[in-house]
Structure 1
């Protein structure tokens, strides 16, 4: 019989031995998992729940299409709506980014309704039910929003109760996002080593970083930069969120073992890993009425966890009968 004390030592106090009432399968229950960085228009989402993902945060899609989704059901979807970027900035013109998912901001106007204005772009996403606002700061691929425009975006989003999440790519871009008050980074910084000072400021500001480490599988330098940056951020007490950038290349629709292993190499393991995977951000509460269930024998070591978690599924919480021992 599996040892519940060993299980909690490996995965934290939220892990519990249980069985499914309907199938009789024995396994482990965990809080519902969330992928904090996906693009639903690029994937077939039908397999998400069956493969362990109860909620997703769409960080770049057509706001009208997203607004038309049912508000209930699993996976629970929160979203940013369109990418907000500088005129001619990334991802304008990319084959995977149709016009409907990008808003080019040409003015720092704070007046609602001003064409191309920063406030107008934020107001539009809010009107379509966005839970976050996504800005793009990619100096490698084109022009980026200036500090004045970012300040208007941040102030308008704040007035709407929406956090700003920034895609940062290129030297100095994480600092620009931090200075602008971005509440989250859509990717762990990967084009440079950000240094202890920026990490300390990010942690003090309560900024959260979405991992997306495994997308750098073909770029060793970016992978190592991201690993070191996230390791420093996590060690300093930073709030790490599990996210895969699902839709970016050939990634599994569901729990991604490669992402979990990469998080482990950055020091995010055990209870910290489960916290990163089940954090309800940007919401205050997790998807209701469901749990993560991993059938079979629990892992024996930290090295076993990633592939074991890849067998997770989402089930109604009421279906799980917990071991009393």
Structure 2
């Protein structure tokens, strides 16, 4: 098979390797297992994730009881936030796709456990069902958002439980509000206007992670704002995670070519693109025993990488024979 292993690593990162499948003899490239950092499993057929190239997911809004009942060692490996935490009547309460089981409306800013409708109560519930992160809904475009006291209580309680806070920040000033409250991650790259260099510098210094979802906004202005914001964040050294908001709209399950292409256009290219897709956050390590495999000849130029990744699938690591010394 054509391909220089050293050039391949320069293009796709240090873990890229030429290989073949032992059973079929099919040649291709092995990469670390990919994670989609923004999915909603109750809205998709997850059986297609691994064949489509996704070995792990972060569910950012689902029923904590159902999620806690999943086998821990299955592929795709699933980390989750559990329910959205929101204001009474706030996003996404009442949406057809958001049953009551996936929403907790915070009516009391109490940091004491067991208070009905309390901020700490909601965080503790998600933690008790095995949540790896806590998700806050800050969408001022469609309804109320948690007030300052409730927001502070949610973040403080999550900190005490050792759980990162992921913010859905939508609407004027919402990314700034989330950042000031201490959010560790954005569920979507900020798209409600340009955030500016000072905001980006603060986000990078604070160690924030931004989940891409660049292919989601329908509005061209919002899509361009997200692209420019992510390009600035990535260029400044920010930690970018591949995420698609899978379940939002009718799209194929697996690697989403439009998202990969959008990341590439935002300057997250080549090895940086693979790193964003293979980052195991919030887990400390990627799923064991599986590998991303892309059949056929490897790309030879950065412009080819995004389209080439359409062919990605997940295979057992033991099935691959590396063709390099």
TM normalised by structure 2 equals 0.98
**Inter-partner Cα distance in structure 2 for 1:175 and 1:63:** 28
Please tell me whether the aligned partners of residues 5 and 324 of structure 2 are also in contact (alpha carbons under 8 angstroms).
Answer: no
Kindly state the Cα deviation for residue 131 of structure 1 after the two structures are TM-superposed: 0.5
Instruction: Tell me the distance in 2 between the aligned counterparts of 1:265 and 1:324.
Output: 31
How many residue pairs get matched?
Answer: 324
Residue 27 of structure 2 corresponds to: 26
Q: Secondary structure at the match of 2:85?
A: strand
Instruction: State whether structure 2 residue 216 is matched by structure 1 residue 231.
Output: no
CA offsets 1:111-166 (integer angstroms, 9 cap, x no match): 11101110000000001110000000001111111222111111111111110000
2:273 maps to which residue? 273
Whether the aligned pair in 2 keeps the contact of 1:147 and 1:176 (CA below 8 Å) is no
State the Cα distance separating 1:300 from its structure 2 match.
2.2
CA distance in 2, matches of 1:119, 1:147: 14
Find the counterpart in structure 1 of residue 131 from structure 2: 130
Q: How does 1:244-323 map to 2 (within 5 A)?
A: 244-323=244-323
Residues 260-317 of structure 1 deviation map (CA, whole Å, 9 limit, x = unaligned): 1100111000111011001010010101111100010111222221221111111111
- After TM superposition, the structure 1 = structure 2 runs for residues 114-125 of structure 1, keeping only pairs within 5 Å, are 114-125=115-126
Contact 1:164 1:183 in 2 (8 A): yes
Judge which range, 57-66 or 2-11, deviates more.
2-11
Structure 1 residue 248: Cα displacement: 0.3
Residues 85 and 105 in structure 1, CA contact (< 8 A), matched pair in contact too? yes
Q: Distance in 2 between matches of 1:146 and 1:180?
A: 11
Q: Determine the C-alpha separation between the residues in 1 that align with 2:180 and 2:192.
A: 18
For residues 111 and 186 of structure 2, the distance between their equivalents in structure 1, rounded to whole angstroms, comes to 24
TM-score (ref. length: structure 1): 0.98
Where has structure 1 moved over 6 Å in runs of 4 or more? none
Alpha-carbon separation, structure 2, partners of 1:150 and 1:237: 28
Kept after mapping to 1: 8 A contact 2:189/2:229: yes
User: In the alignment, is the contact (CA less than 8 A) between 1:88 and 1:143 conserved in 2?
Assistant: yes
- Give 5+ residue unaligned stretches, structure 2: none
Cα distance in 2 for residues equivalent to 1:220 and 1:143: 25
1:124-163 pair list within 5 angstroms = 124-163=125-164
| CA distance in 1: counterparts of 2:6 and 2:210, whole angstroms | 30
After the TM superposition, which residues 76-87 of structure 1 pair with which residues of structure 2 at under 5 Å, given as runs?
76-87=77-88
Alignment partners' CA distance in 1, 2:35 and 2:159: 24
